[in-house]
Chain A
Amino acid sequence: MLVDALKSEAYRVSRNRTTLFFSILLTPLLFVFGGLAYQIMTKAKGDALAAKANLPATLGNQPVNLAEAFGFAAGNGANGVLLVFMLLAAAAVYAGDYRWETWRLISARNGRPWLILGKIGVMKVLAMIAMLAMLIAAFIFFVTQALVAGRPMSFDLSDFDLVQFLLTWLLSYIRIVQYGLIALLAAVVSRSLLATLFAPWALGFAQTILGGPLLPILGWEPSDWAAQLLLPGLAYDTLKAALARGPMPLPEGVVMKAVVSLVLWCVAPVAASIAWFQRQDLSKE
């Protein structure tokens, strides 16, 4: 049953070129072309300055290590632009077809929990493909960086830490999926495209305010359970810092709190959505 729901939803999304373009292709394309434009401008400015100061043109001619694209893509996988466009995809998958007309067609053919889980599964696949597209874009960015600057290229994996890469990748992936699941809950409860788009944004905005100026006012430390559980964004930053192995040690136990927070923010929206959807009247809107 779940397999049928997955196949069905995957087929439907695969025919929706607009959703595919916005969720998978647009962010990497923006990244590549934006990066290229920035590099060209920087190079032109740098060349002018070098000529003015009569510096040698070979300055900064060290090779561009293409292997660094891995770490770059994993660390920036859950970037704001990608999150925004993945939310567009989530709105299309969860809410765009959240019409009585569509549900009467498919809910008579499969169980409601399976249909919701099928949609979640497809969104997870979209998120993974979007991150892989970002990885390819990162490579292209590094290559163009070398070409524009006239620097040599290398592929040096001596500093590459596979475990760190995989965990950072997983963390970014969970962050994208988590935003999508909040969108799912908003879709099921509101049955509105706009609410599906804006609820996760509003939550992100609220977290920014809470995590910044309000945290000290509330008397919470970032390492407190309350702060970590209420602010999945803070939990994400905590784990990202832990994986980056910065010079400052993290407070004891905070990593575990952050992991619990991320897991809860993934499981709770799914459970709530399925429970709500099971009881929901799919009347005409």
Chain B
Amino acid sequence: MQTVIEIRGLTKTYGTVKALDGLTLSIPRGGVYGILGPNGAGKSTLFRTLLGLIRPTAGEATVMGGRIGDPAATRRMGSMIETPRFPPFMTARQVLVWLGYAHGGVASSDIEAWLKRMGLAEAADRRVRGFSVGMLQRLGVAAALMTKPDLVILDEPTSGMDPPGIQEMRALIRSLADDDGVTVILASHQLQEVQRVCDRVAIFNKGKVITEGRVSDLTASGERLRLSATPLAKAMGVLGDKATLDGDALIAALTRAETPAAIRALVEAGVDIEEARWIGADLEDVFMSETGWTGVQGAPDKGTDHAG
């Protein structure tokens, strides 16, 4: 497997807080790779380290075959980390020209094409100080992509966008990977978005990777049996703590091997089974089970790195 990023034992500490804790990860070339984790899991710290903005305390990483901060490798990357901020006195077009110069020049036709593609053509000559968060995100994505990078890092690219904008962004990300052969690394709290767009994901917690794999594999491993049965109370009694109510059905956390015996037990107990079908776990289930996130106030024992 060809990789675009190889990380070995990467550690970043801020005082006593470990934002990255011996992180080891290989990100394959091609496709869309999702980085998930609760706030403070170390996602943004990882991105900043890969971009050479901050120096790791220990460990090493290669990006596009070069060491962190290697200008030749860095220039093949595009990035947008969190909501971008631009000099407020510049227009959208001027921002792209400015960043294009810093990069070694970007053709004005490419700048115009990206302004149009990101829906900013009409706002191109407006100063960015009046832009909404969504417009800044669009401009940030245009700035990340206009140099035709081989690797793109996008941190919460749909933050602040309206639903049509989110759909467009999803389509853009997929198209970058599928049509242009760009490797996209995406961090997002929108788990449905990640599930729809990403090929592989890594789930972070406390500066470490706790799960990594193909989205289809991760969700398949959490598949469960949905049963429509009568009477439900009796069925619940037979399955015990493996069953939970889901409206007028129940969800049984059974493996495929356990299922025939469970069905037999239900039938023998006089339960009528009207429907039984497998349902896949979604990424949210995987995320919650892996990070111990309660869905109320964040992970009960999650890491607290200040860098996000």
Contacts and interface: CB of A to CB of B under 8 A. Distances in A.
Interface string B21-32: 000000000000
Contact of B101 (A7, A97, A279, A282): A7
Contacts of B75: 109-110
Contact of B87 (A1, A7, A97, A107): A97
Nearest to A1: B71
A282 B53 CA distance: 5
A99 B85 contact: yes
Which of B48, B54, B87, B102 has the most chain A CB atoms closer than 10 A to its own CB? Answer: B102
Contact of B48 (A1, A4, A97, A104): A104
Contacts of B103: 4, 109-110
A283 B48 contact: yes
A26 to B, nearest CB: 18
A141 to B, nearest CB: 32
B87 A12 contact: yes
Contacts of B203: none
B86 interface: yes
A245 B76 CA distance: 58
B185 to A, nearest CB: 14
A16 B86 CA distance: 13
User: For the complex, would chain A's binding face be called helix, strand, loop or mixed by DSSP majority?
Assistant: helix
Contacts of B74: 108-109
A21 interface: no
Interface centre among A105, A108, A115 (most CB of B within 10 A): A108
Interface string B87-111: 1011000100111011111000000
Contacts of B99: 8, 105-106, 109
B198 interface: no
A283 to B, nearest CB: 6
Contacts of B55: 279, 281
A36 B305 CA distance: 61
A17 interface: yes
A102 interface: yes
Given A101-B84, A108-B74, A108-B77, A281 B54 contact: yes
A156 to B, nearest CB: 45
A283 B102 contact: no
B196 to A, nearest CB: 27
Given A18-B89, A105-B143, A110 B102 contact: yes
Interface string A10-24: 011001111000000
A103 interface: yes
B14 to A, nearest CB: 8
Interface string A87-103: 00000000001011111
A270 B109 CA distance: 37
B54 A283 contact: yes
Interface string B53-77: 1110000000000000001001101
A127 interface: no
A109 B102 contact: yes
A103 B103 CA distance: 13
Contacts of B86: 102, 105
Interface string A258-285: 0000000000000000000001011110
A8 B53 contact: no
A212 interface: no
A102 B87 contact: yes
B77 A15 contact: no
B288 interface: no
B307 interface: yes
Nearest to A105: B99
Nearest to B45: A283
Given A16-B87, A102-B87, A283 B101 contact: no
B165 interface: no
Contacts of A100: 53
A4 B147 CA distance: 14
B54 A17 contact: no
Contacts of A74: none
B98 A104 contact: no
A106 B103 CA distance: 8
A63 interface: no
A100 B47 CA distance: 13
A281 B55 CA distance: 6
B54 A8 contact: no
B238 interface: no
B51 interface: yes
A278 to B, nearest CB: 9
Interface of B: 48, 51-55, 71, 74-75, 77, 79, 81, 84-87, 89-90, 94, 97-99, 101-105, 143, 147, 307
Given A101-B85, A108-B53, A281-B53, 11 more contacts: A8-B98, A8-B102, A15-B90, A104-B79, A104-B81, A107-B52, A107-B53, A108-B74, A109-B102, A279-B55, A282-B48
Nearest 7 pairs of A and B residues by beta carbon: A8-B102, A8-B101, A101-B85, A109-B103, A7-B101, A282-B53, A281-B54
Interface of A: 1, 4-5, 7-8, 11-12, 15-18, 97, 99-111, 115, 279, 281-284
13 contacts: A1-B104, A4-B102, A5-B102, A11-B98, A15-B98, A18-B89, A97-B87, A100-B53, A101-B84, A103-B53, A104-B81, A109-B74, A283-B53
